[in-house]
Amino acid sequence: MTDQTTSSPVRRALASGGARNGGLVLALLVLCIVGWATAGDRFLSVSNLLVVLGLAAITGVLSIGMTFVITGGGIDLSVGSVLGLASVWASTLETQRIAQESTWLVMVFCALAVGLGAGLVNGLLVAYGKVVPFIATLAMLVAARGLAELIANRRTQLVTATSFKSALQGNLLGVPKIVWIFAAVAVAGWFLLARTTFGRRTVAVGGNAEAARLAGIKVKRHTMSLYALAGLTAGIGGAMMLARTGAGSSTNGTLYELDAIAAVVVGGTLLVGGRGTIVGTVLGVLIFTALTNVFVLNNLNSSVQQVAKGAIIVAAVLLQQRFAAREGRGS
């Protein structure tokens, strides 16, 4: 993108998101065909679809926040640890027995607040402290995990609050509640990125921070809000993890940041910033999850899986570069 005008690359970046998703949909379809061919009805059943979605939900929510950060030209390595911290903090609260009836609200609010707080710290360090995002969030990755261990006293804390379980566990209209949460976060994220000033500013800041500053965008404040948003999604993920596992553990969310980054990049968001797509990210998450599911149904050994995953990430990025080069020639 070596365009000199300020508005057109932004507009085109937003518009091109839709066009590039064709390849992802195709990849997902191919995966489904492979799954159906190798595992038949075990793969193409409603119950298996729900297993896939349930597995995708938590990584998916993290990936939505990650999309914003990466689009804005940054990276957040701390979301997995912050998820663990949020889940542990919330499950610790439960042991305090705050207002038995509304415990679940308190717990969810706590998880969100912890995530948001950690995100704000990341944002402050990056935007105002001028620490490189990679380093600032790496520090948070380590620190949040340590704090989670301190709070949990390195024990797994059971969630026994029936109010929390009935609110967040189980199904709604036959679909797990955490999948609904993922859907809601995805829709909200899509709206925010593709349909609001905030989204356009994110693309502008990621594409060229200096130009964005000259165009009157408060770049520092905006950057901070992106990390806060990623932290918030990590907090949501923490609450979802509590719902899914019924336990707060300081090991929750280990290495999830890498899954999220992989999904975002495979989805077509540029790692250097300046272009992002929530639809692509959701497809990326689904591709990885479906892939895992096909592997599991076929009893493929885990080492082979890891090699395959690595190959897929590289292939996706190579394809993206081909696309980008073609677009560059076209402009």
Partner 1 sequence: MSARTQRRRLVAGVTTALTAVLLAAACTSNEPEPTDDDTAGAAVAPGSDNDEPGDKIVIGFSAPASDHGWMGAITSAARAEAEKYSDVTLNVAEGTNDVNLQISQIEGFINDGVDAIVLLPFDGAALTDVATRAMNAGIPVVNVDREFSSPFAARATILGDNYGMGVSAGTYICEKVGDDPDAVIGEIAGIDSLPLTQDRSQGFADALADCGQEVDNRVAADFTVQGGEAAATNLLQAAPKLTAVWNHDDDQGVGVLQAIENAGRDEFFMVGGAGSANVMRHIQDGDSVLEATVIYPSTQAADGIKLARLIAQNKTLGDLASLGVPRQIQLYAPVVTADNVDDYLSIGFES
Footprint of partner 1 (CB under 8 A):
42, 45, 47-48, 50-52, 54-55, 58-59, 149, 152, 154-158, 169, 241, 244-247, 249-252, 254-255, 292-293, 295-302, 305
Considering only CA atoms, which of 81, 16, 86, 117 is closest in space to residue 251? 81
CB of 134 to partner 1, least distance (A): 23
Q: What is the DSSP string of 158-206?
A: E---HHHHHHHSSEETTEEHHHHHHHHHHHHHHHHHHHSHHHHHHHHHH
- Nearer to partner 1 by C-beta: 197 or 301? 301
CB of 4 to partner 1, least distance (A): 46
Instruction: Spell out the residues 6+ positions from residue 78 whose beta carbon is closer than 8 angstroms to its own.
Output: 118, 122, 137, 138, 140, 141, 144, 231, 234, 257
- Nearer to partner 1 by C-beta: 23 or 246? 246
- Nearer to partner 1 by C-beta: 173 or 255? 255
CB of 170 to partner 1, least distance (A): 10
CB of 39 to partner 1, least distance (A): 10
CB of 151 to partner 1, least distance (A): 12
CB of 64 to partner 1, least distance (A): 17
- Nearer to partner 1 by C-beta: 92 or 156? 156
C-beta separation of 145 from 153 below 8 A: no
- Nearer to partner 1 by C-beta: 5 or 302? 302
- Nearer to partner 1 by C-beta: 51 or 192? 51
Match 């829709």 to its residue by tokens.
187
Q: Which two tokens stand for residue 223?
A: 């950057």
CB of 146 to partner 1, least distance (A): 11
Helix, strand or coil, per DSSP, at residue 267: coil
- Nearer to partner 1 by C-beta: 252 or 320? 252
CB of 107 to partner 1, least distance (A): 16
- Nearer to partner 1 by C-beta: 215 or 296? 296
Task: Output the 3-class SS for 10-41.
Answer: HHHHHHHHHHHHHHHHHHHHHHHHHHHHHHHH
The C-alpha angle with vertex 230 and arms to 229 and 236, in degrees rounded to 5, equals 90
- Nearer to partner 1 by C-beta: 131 or 300? 300
Task: Output the 3-class SS for 116-160.
Answer: HHHHHHHHHHHHHCCCCHHHHHHHHHHHHHHHHHHHHCCCCEECC
Considering only CA atoms, which of 65, 46, 74 is closest in space to residue 253? 65
Helix, strand or coil, per DSSP, at residue 247: strand
CB of 317 to partner 1, least distance (A): 24
Cα separation, 300 vs 40, in Å, equals: 16
